[in-house]
């Protein structure tokens, strides 16, 4: 999948997502763009996912109807060492997004969690057929869970 890494994150995090084409906002030529313009440019340029720590995007921008998925990591910092523990869950979200885009078997990501698991959430939003989960939001904890 083609992933755009927001400029509020270290672009090198893409090195920890093997099998995906990752590029930072600056390298893509989108530096300094506001979130709405960035999402539109990313869509037009064929990106499948915007990876960010900007928790405001889902509230400020209309995600439904877009042809791009949004993965938001909620962490106390945008430092690499703080973000790296979230990579397995980002990878799992990417697998789910890819499955929906290409009609593959749905991974376990969408299976119900126990009622005691309130540390993170996945909100499904209709974006484009067959994509149905366009926004994954991972809350920070000492050991991220889904």
The Cα–Cα gap between 68 and 127 comes to 8
Q: Which residue has the higher pLDDT, 132 or 2?
A: 2
Q: Which pLDDT does position 58 carry in this prediction?
A: 85
Q: Which pLDDT does position 103 carry in this prediction?
A: 56
Quick: pLDDT tens for 66-118.
888 899 998 889 999 999 999 999 998 998 888 766 654 444 444 333 333 33
Other CB atoms within a 10 A radius of the CB of residue 65 amount to: 10
pTM surpassing 0.85? no
The Cα–Cα gap between 140 and 122 comes to 13
Query: How do 135-138 and 121-123 pair as beta strands?
Result: antiparallel
User: Quick one: which of 100, 106, 86 has its CA closest to 146?
Assistant: 86
Quick: pLDDT tens for 104-141.
444 444 433 333 333 333 333 333 332 223 445 444 44
The Cα–Cα gap between 107 and 9 comes to 27
Q: Which pLDDT does position 67 carry in this prediction?
A: 85
Exposure of 35 by Cβ count < 10 A (0-12 exposed, 13-18 middle, 19+ buried)?
middle
Domain boundaries, the chain: 2-106+115-138
Quick: pLDDT tens for 5-61.
999 999 999 999 999 999 999 999 999 999 999 999 999 999 999 999 998 888 888
Helix, strand, coil shares, percent, the chain, to 5: 35, 20, 50
């Amino acid at each position: 999948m083609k992933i755009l890494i927001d400029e509020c994150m270290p672009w090198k995090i893409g090195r920890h997502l093997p099998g995906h084409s990752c590029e930072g906002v600056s390298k893509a030529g989108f530096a300094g763009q506001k979130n709405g313009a960035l999402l539109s440019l990313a869509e037009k340029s064929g990106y499948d996912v915007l990876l960010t720590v900007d928790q405001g995007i889902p509230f400020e921008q209309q995600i439904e109807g877009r042809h791009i998925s949004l993965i938001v990591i909620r962490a106390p910092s945008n430092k690499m060492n703080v973000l790296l523990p979230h990579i397995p869950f980002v990878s799992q979200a990417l697998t789910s997004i890819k499955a929906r885009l290409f009609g593959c078997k749905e991974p376990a990501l969408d299976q119900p969690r126990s009622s005691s698991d309130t540390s993170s959430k996945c909100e499904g939003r209709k974006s484009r057929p067959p994509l149905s989960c366009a926004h994954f939001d991972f809350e920070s904890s000492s050991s991220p869970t889904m």
